[in-house]
Each structure stands twice: as C-alpha cells, then as structure tokens.
Amino acid sequence: MLESYLDERLKERQVLLMTHLVVGYPTFEASFDLLTGMLEAGVDLVELQIPFSEPIADGPVILKANAAALAAGATVQRCLEFGERAAAASPVPLLFMSYYNILYKFGVRDFVAQMARIGVAGAIVPDLPYEEGAEYLSAMSEFARDPIFICSPNTSEARLANIAEHARGFVYCVARKGVTGSETRFSEELGSYLERCRRAIRLPLAVGFGVKSGQDVEFLRGRADIAVVGSETLRAFEHGGVPAAIELIRSLRTSRASP
C-alpha cells in the first residue's frame, strides 16, 4: 500500500518528509489545525501518535505532549475518531504510532480492523519486535495495512535481514541509540549505518530521532528516502503555533532537490 505511493513520490523528489503529532495535544481541535498546517506545508506522510502513559522511545518534548493529551481526556476511541476525520481530509497517507499496550488492550485485530475502516495506512509500534508480533502481523496482512519496523545503529546484519522480511511500506532507521528529540550527529558514522541498512533492506528507508534542519535533510539525500521530523515540529508549534510549524516544515521542504 505505502510502497507504491512512496515509489511514485520519490520520482518527484529525493528525500520525502514525514511529520509527527500527538493526537489530542494540546486539544483535538489544535491537533487537527496542526495537521492541516502540515498538509498545507507539503509533507508526504504524517504520524499520528496515540498518547500513552509510558512512551519509552520518546524524549521530553513528546513525552510532555503525551501526558498533557491524556490529562485533557484523550482516549483510544477519540484518537480513532480523530484518525477517521484526518484520513478523510488528508491527500497523503497517515500512520498511527503508539505502544503495544494500546493495541493489546483494545484487541489487536479489532484495532487493525478500525485502521482499515478509517483509512489509516500503517502503524509504527516501537516496543513490538517481529518475534512477538504474530497476531499483529497476521491482522496487518489480513486488512492490507503496513507494519513499519524499526532498526538502530547496533542492529546486527542478521536482524536487519529479518526486519526486511517482516516490514512493509518502509523501515524506520533511528539515527542513534536513545530517545527522540536529542542531538544527533549527522556524520559518516551515520552514513555507514544507513549503507548497511540499504544493503539489507529493499524498502524505502526513513530516518528519525534528531532531524531538525535543512542541513540534516540534505545529509540524507542519497542515503535515505524519508526524513522524519517529530520533536522539532512540536517545539515550533509550542513556541509559535501552527504558523511556526509551517515555517519550519517549509524550510525543510525547500532544502530538498528533485532528481
């Protein structure tokens, strides 16, 4: 589903842009306004994070947004309703991102069925390895949704091959060990890691955890296919609202050259 879309999109530009928002932060209407701004700014994909009380892969900016959304009354059902409204309004694919406890408590197959019903293309579940994901993978296949798996700089060659076997759509390559939003060195060491990923994985590669500037996006050209901007978008939104988020995204967008 996602792979054919990405293949076509990559004919137009060398690095695509995926942004991230926490559904219900600071309110559901504000989340929708932010999504609308992201789409206006020309993003290629959007992650919709369903808030969770222990978002272990997330740094302080996104952790704070998760806590605030939950305190304001975000529930899984309300996030699914938001996803349905968002998918109806979005010309680009949307993905849910959350932690496995959300799917487990809701019912894995029921959750994936709801994703399919409302038109969300795939999911990122960072704490669910493929070895423990048989029910999830079966449901994602049944409903033709794409499971996005994650690798990191210390992922072995054998594990990269196994991730390539189970992933669909694209593979999310975290730029460093640790959580989102911290400083990342865009260096030859990162380039070597992405070369390893490219050799093992035929799917498009997304890179996140620390993408903040046009210079970072430029570094990824020829090394990866999708730049993921999460914490930095939320920082801009918190400091200057939707206009600041749009300005940031456009600055990243204009840095990317077409083939």
Yes or no: say if 55 and 47 are a contact pair by the CB < 8 Å rule: no
CB atoms inside a 10 Å sphere around CB 248? 22
For residue 99, the SS3 value is coil
Catalytic residue among 3, 8, 33, 58: 58
DSSP for 138-173, written as a single string: HHHHHTT-EEEEEE-TT--HHHHHHHHHH--S-EEE
Catalytic residue among 44, 47, 146, 232: 47
Q: Is 58 a catalytic residue?
A: yes
In this structure, what are the phi and psi dihedrals at residue 93, rounded to the nearest 5 degrees?
A: -65, 145
Closest to 93 in 3D by CA, of 75, 108, 115: 115
The size of the chain, in residues, is 259
For residue 62, the SS3 value is helix
Yes or no: say if 83 and 94 are a contact pair by the CB < 8 Å rule: yes
Peptide bond just before 26 cis, omega within 30 deg: yes
Give the pairing type, strands 94-97 and 205-208. unpaired
DSSP for 188-254, written as a single string: HHHHHHHHHHHHH--S-EEEESS--SHHHHHHHBTTBSEEEE-HHHHHHHHHHHHHHHHHHHHHHHT
Q: Is 183 a catalytic residue?
A: no
Q: Which residues are catalytic?
A: 47, 58
